[in-house]
């Protein structure tokens, strides 16, 4: 197995201890761990391992008298609200065997309990096992507490996400004032670059240590010796903690593989995250469709076109939504990789090809048509599978990705997306004009976007230069970075930094241009 395959399989192997304990058990899982499982085999992996049911980690859930075994999988410390929920579920049930998995290692539990000395064994976990037996009502019942680093979601062969740390955010200038306010007797920190691990709030230190532990487990599972680089104050703290991690020191001496890891504070490129790159299908799907409840990396796909349900104007949410994570079907995995890595036109054609192949394999009466792929065409192919439950079940992954594509291509926000993309490109052209030509650049924006001219007050509107002068001056100044064709201009530079979300346009366009 190659190093890349090892890296992709590591999050799946992290679930092995959990799957080994779920036989004949009801599993309670919080949203963060459920999202990681969502991309690592989903509920089907639990069923194949022998689980009886999967329930939300909530005080309002319980089990019957015929369900004596429970497995809890949580992403947080075994303190506070997490402990309260576990106690509530046990009190409402009749468990005799409880297993608790937490993504937070025992060393971080010691830190959270203000224990600095290195202790043998896992005393915090052992004490919690005694509490579990006490809540179950019999100290002779069985309770187990252990660490499972199930923090990563393998979205593709070359992309891992960490939904458990989606809320972790880099430091901002207001945070520096809050940090200084909590240390009145110590020297004030002058900038974020002066902040170290000890200056952070305890809750944030716990999150950083948990992330470092998850990364160390990932590298340990792949036999990797990392070389860390950091860009930004928060990244510097995380990279320093990883470098000083006790288990990482031993791993670096024996690891066979080598890799570089670059930590980047997302606040250094916030504008890039909300831009419209325009040439990737998955990007548009994630923007247009509603998020899957409780998830940050997947969306809802309306499957009503695969049923006989009648849609009404009052229908807002799909009854049983589909998703993008298709881990069980090989053809769907190949299609998903193609959608991620190719341009939109190629990805849409790949979706059509997979649908045609699936329909031909099932001998469905498909009508071939060449030319441009339309959402109506994709839906007509998908509706052919409604007549056969076996066909629907065998190709459900490809059908869900096909529906996601069709619903995105006909989404009402798509024209606004294209307008945002065009305006961003034009804004780039105006930004790279030579210094002192601001009037020309602003006039150029209005020349190409006349629909936005009325939004600016007449007194503030800059004088619009002559068309011929703008053209000559613009192309003369931009000849090194622009390619001119008779029908359109093609920028040869990357897109500019973006600073607005899609829903903020078009109202804010003119004022951004004016500045």
Residue 299 φ then ψ, to 5°: -130, 170
Looking at 328-332, 416-420, 504-508, which range is the least confident one?
Answer: 504-508
Q: Would you kindly state where each structural domain of the chain is located, as residue ranges?
A: 3-147, 168-270, 281-409, 415-514
Q: Work out the pLDDT band at 109, boundaries 50, 70, 90.
A: very high
**Is it the case that residue 117 has pLDDT exceeding 90?**
no
Determine the Cα–Cα distance for residues 10 and 158; give it in Å rounded to an integer: 12
| HSE (side-chain half, CA atoms, 13 Å) at 270 | 7
Model-level pTM?
A: 0.81
Report CA-CA distances (Å) from 305 to 137, 365, 381, 402, 486: 50, 18, 11, 11, 43
pLDDT at 401: 96
Looking at 49-53, 182-186, 314-318, 425-429, which range is the least confident one?
Answer: 314-318
Q: How does the average pLDDT of the chain come out, rounded?
A: 82
Looking at 25-34, 248-257, 291-300, which range is the least confident one?
Answer: 248-257
Determine the Cα–Cα distance for residues 502 and 126; give it in Å rounded to an integer: 50
Taken in order 226, 230, 235, 238, the sign of the CA dihedral is positive
CATH topology of domain 3-147: Rossmann fold (3.40.50)
Average pLDDT for 334-350: 94
Other C-beta atoms lying within 10 Å of the C-beta of residue 206: 19
Determine the Cα–Cα distance for residues 134 and 143; give it in Å rounded to an integer: 10
pLDDT at 292: 92
């Amino acid at each position: 197995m190659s190093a890349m395959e090892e890296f992709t399989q590591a999050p799946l192997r992290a679930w092995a201890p959990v799957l080994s304990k779920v036989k004949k058990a009801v599993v309670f899982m919080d949203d963060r761990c459920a999202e990681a499982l969502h991309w690592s085999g989903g509920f089907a992996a639990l069923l194949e391992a022998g689980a009886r049911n999967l329930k939300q980690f909530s005080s309002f859930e319980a089990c019957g008298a015929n369900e004596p075994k429970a497995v809890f999988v949580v992403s947080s410390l075994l303190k506070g609200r997490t402990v309260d929920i576990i106690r509530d579920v046990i009190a409402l049930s009749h468990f005799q065997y409880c297993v608790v998995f937490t993504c937070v290692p025992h060393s971080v539990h010691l830190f959270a309990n203000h224990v600095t000395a290195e202790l043998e064994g896992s005393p915090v976990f052992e004490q919690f096992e005694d509490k579990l037996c006490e809540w179950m009502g019999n100290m002779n019942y069985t309770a187990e507490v252990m660490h499972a680093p199930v923090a990563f979601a393998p979205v593709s062969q070359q992309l891992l996400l960490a939904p458990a740390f989606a809320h972790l955010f880099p430091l901002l200038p207001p945070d520096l004032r809050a940090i200084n306010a909590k240390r009145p007797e110590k020297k004030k920190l002058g900038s974020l670059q002066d902040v170290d691990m000890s200056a952070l709030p305890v809750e944030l230190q716990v999150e950083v240590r948990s992330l470092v532990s998850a990364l160390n487990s990932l590298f340990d599972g792949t036999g990797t010796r990392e070389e860390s680089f950091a860009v930004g104050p928060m990244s510097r703290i995380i990279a320093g903690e990883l470098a000083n991690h006790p288990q990482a020191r031993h791993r670096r001496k024996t690891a066979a593989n080598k890799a570089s890891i670059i930590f980047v504070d997302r606040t250094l490129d916030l504008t890039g995250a909300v831009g419209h790159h325009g040439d990737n299908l998955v990007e548009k799907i994630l923007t247009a469709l509603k998020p899957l409840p409780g998830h940050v990396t997947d969306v809802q796909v309306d499957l009503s076109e695969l049923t006989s349900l009648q849609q009404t104007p009052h229908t807002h949410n799909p009854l049983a939504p589909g998703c993008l994570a298709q881990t069980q079907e090989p053809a769907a995995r190949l299609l998903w990789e193609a959608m991620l890595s190719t341009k939109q036109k190629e990805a849409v054609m790949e979706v059509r090809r997979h649908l045609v192949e699936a329909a031909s394999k099932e001998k469905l009466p498909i009508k071939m048509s060449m030319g441009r792929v339309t959402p109506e065409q994709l839906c007509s192919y998908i509706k052919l599978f409604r007549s056969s439950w076996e066909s629907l079940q065998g190709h459900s992954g490809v059908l869900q990705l096909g529906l996601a594509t069709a619903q995105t291509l006909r989404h009402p926000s798509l024209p606004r997306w294209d307008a945002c993309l065009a305006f961003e490109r034009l804004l780039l052209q105006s930004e790279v004009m030579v210094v002192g030509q601001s009037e020309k650049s602003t006039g150029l924006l209005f020349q190409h976007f006349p629909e936005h001219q009325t939004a600016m007050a007449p007194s503030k509107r800059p004088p619009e230069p002559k068309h011929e002068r703008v053209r000559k001056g613009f192309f003369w100044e931009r000849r090194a970075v622009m390619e001119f064709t008779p029908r359109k201009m093609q920028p040869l530079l990357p897109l500019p930094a973006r600073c607005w979300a899609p829903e903020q346009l078009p109202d804010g366009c003119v004022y951004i241009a004016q500045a």
